[in-house]
A and B are shown apart, each in its own frame.
Chain A
Amino acid sequence: MKLAIVVNEGPYTHQASDTALHFTRAALEAGHEIERVFFYHDGVNNATRLTVPPQDDRNLQKEWTELGTTHGLDMVVCIAAAQRRGILDANEAKRQGKDADNIAEGFRISGLGQLIDAGIQADRLVTFGD
């Protein structure tokens, strides 16, 4: 089955990102295809490479990056939600006149159309949120 995943909460405050990560991993292991993982609302905060969680805790951004790069996942961060919350890639940082970017490897910034498109292309769209 072709699945689209939506992550609507940031890391650590809510469990949604953990559950989405575990679900995506399990779906891939079971032989399903992941059409796209779309990060919206505070979910965009999963994509910053600047988080430094305690060493005895999980690092959600690293786990997403590892899963995404291993399986070639299309992990999309909503641009409008990202701009509000200070998640930038190099292009956006330049365009907005900011002195740094923070997007982690494996993620890309794009529009909300990618969420609708994922819903159209996938057999099932699964939302993880609060």
Chain B
Amino acid sequence: MSEDAKKFLYVNRKAPYGTIYALESLEVVLIGAAFEQEVTLAFLDDGVYQLAKGQETAGVGMKNFSPTYRALGDYDVNKFYVERESLEERGLTEDDLQEITYEDEDDDWAEKPSIRVVNRDEMKKIMSEQDVILSF
């Protein structure tokens, strides 16, 4: 990562299917990974459903793109902040989310969880620390 890298935050607020925002957000994250910026993802409101495990999309005729989130660790995208209140408001817990991990190069490639559940105040702080926020 270059010295003058900017902090990019992708804010995901919508359910994975029903609108195209989640998929096209993921496309930006994948392209953006090549730019060696400091990337963070935030999931709040219905956006928490994007990480739900066991997604089955055959019935709606759409591609299930949820496995792609698990590949992001290979692109140094490993900070997934999920808002606790958004989970609770929807009757979800962290156990309802798929497991996403990355290998920490600074810790002998130890496998670590990418998902961190934070409360609304912590999310506010994370947002205030960013240089560029892309909200989808």
List CB contacts (< 8 Å) of A104-126 with chain B: 111-113, 115-117, 119-120, 125
Pair count A-B, CB < 8 A:
48
Tell me whether A112 and B133 are in contact (CB under 8 A): no
The residue on A at minimum CB distance from B30 is A112
Please pick, from A41, A119, A127, the residue contacting B20 in the complex, using a CB distance under 8 A: A41
Is B37 in contact with chain A by the CB < 8 A criterion? yes
Given contacts A116-B32, A129-B135, contact A80 B6 (CB under 8 A): no
A112 to B21, CA, bound (A): 14
Collect the chain A residues with CB atoms within 8 Å of residue B133's CB.
125, 127
Is A40 in contact with chain B by the CB < 8 A criterion? yes
Tell me whether B21 and A41 are in contact (CB under 8 A): yes
Is B27 in contact with chain A by the CB < 8 A criterion? yes
The residue on B at minimum CB distance from A85 is B20
Tell me whether B37 and A120 are in contact (CB under 8 A): yes
Interface size class of B (residues with CB under 8 A): 10 to 19
List CB contacts (< 8 Å) of A25-70 with chain B: 40-41
Tell me whether A111 and B31 are in contact (CB under 8 A): yes
Closest CB of chain A to B16's CB: distance in Å? 15
Closest CB of chain B to A119's CB: distance in Å? 4
Pick the most buried of A6, A41, A120: most chain B CB atoms within 10 A of its CB: A120
Collect the chain B residues with CB atoms within 8 Å of residue A127's CB.
133-135
Please pick, from B20, B28, B34, the residue contacting A115 in the complex, using a CB distance under 8 A: B28
Collect the chain A residues with CB atoms within 8 Å of residue B20's CB.
41
Closest CB of chain B to A112's CB: distance in Å? 4
Is B122 in contact with chain A by the CB < 8 A criterion? no
A96 to B51, CA, bound (A): 34
Closest CB of chain A to B108's CB: distance in Å? 31
Known contacts A6-B134, A129-B135, then 8 further A-B pairs from the complex at CB < 8 Å, ordered by chain A residue? A40-B28, A112-B32, A115-B28, A119-B6, A119-B8, A119-B132, A120-B35, A125-B134
